[in-house]
Structure 1
Amino acid sequence: MKILLVDDHALVLEGLKHFLASQGIEVVGTARNSIEALMQYEMLQPDVVLMDIQMVGCDGIQATRMIKKDYPDAKIIMLTAFEDEENLLAAFQAGAEGYLLKTMEPESFLRQLTGMNAGESPIAPHLVKQLLHKFIQYKENTKLHTLSEKNLTDRQQEVLQLLTQGLTYREIAIQLKLKEATVKYHIKELLTKFGLSNRTQLITYTLRNDLVKRK
């Protein structure tokens, strides 16, 4: 995984760079503002961009829009100290693939980040339910066919229950004593059933339509 780091604090960049390198993750470049971020992305074509939100001038959400406009397939994860609903919503509206916090434990941060290789959308676990209140789906004009809880199999309900608690595919597999590939299969089937495209939309849709019992 090749990563581009974007943050206007030099110490943060250096700290993240050394930490990720120590975990065998390649940092191919760094940027301290939106213009540098776009230029670096064009030159380096990283697999993932870790983007701070609060930066001098053009913030990380605006920078995300800039990159996504020219490179729609760019995978950008917000890495920030902000965990309010407004920034969370704005980030996903701008096209971010995930939302992680600088206050996360290193192990949890790495687990979420590397989960992208398995097709997961990284999001700090305790922020998942905030999506219920503010998240606007990417395809606002698409009418989704609402299925009630009884239309789901017991296994699908179990998978959704754990997914809405912020567990990764691997953690769900361990808890349900399944293979990780089986969990991915169930998620794929659910995405198809509801006409959704990613894990974040599935979590939001599940909570909004009360498809599982909330704890």
Structure 2
Amino acid sequence: MTSPSWLVAYNALSSIAWFSVLVLATSYPEAQPQFFQDTQAYVRLVQTFAIVEVYNSIVGNVRSPVFTTAVQVASRLLVVWGVFYVLPNSPANAHWAYITLCLSWSITEIIRYGYYALNIVTEGNPPKFLTWLRYNTFLVLYPTGVGSEVTILFKSLNEAESVVGAWYKYLFIVILATYIPGFYMLFSYMLKQRGKTMKKLGPKKEN
């Protein structure tokens, strides 16, 4: 297993990187599509770094389930590489969904990575407010993030066919169909984790 100090550094750097994405998304002076053109390469780089999470899960550095971790990372990589990189002129990239995507992803990851880093540093006792944010903000941010991903893929269907081929369009359609059971599975899992954590955060009963 990897040393805790490396995991702390990875999570802290990831949180900082996503904070910079949030700053871009909330203060960038240029509107769409210029915002996409100027920031997509950086967003792609930051998101691709999440491949390390899958590795950590596989080798046992973290207790996150390998399958759910891989699915979440793969869906995002499809967007940043399969659309942003392969289809840079897709109308989806100039859509408001790119902005909501950056906002949803960045806020989620700032909290999540920050929580992971402090959880290690404090030996399992991170600040309660951060724990609350970690297990409650997903109720809004996960649907908005997934909704943004779906919008981007859907609006890229024609571009996928014209630039790459019909098979690429149908690949997107198949993947879009998997979002329905995938959303239910992952959201249900997070709800269960939230329930367990919120019980621990509640006031302790006196005997």
TM-score range, shorter chain: under 0.3
Higher RCO structure (Cα 8 Å, ≥6 apart) = 2
> More strand by proportion, 1 or 2?
1
TM, length-normalised to structure 1 = 0.22
TM, length-normalised to structure 2 = 0.23
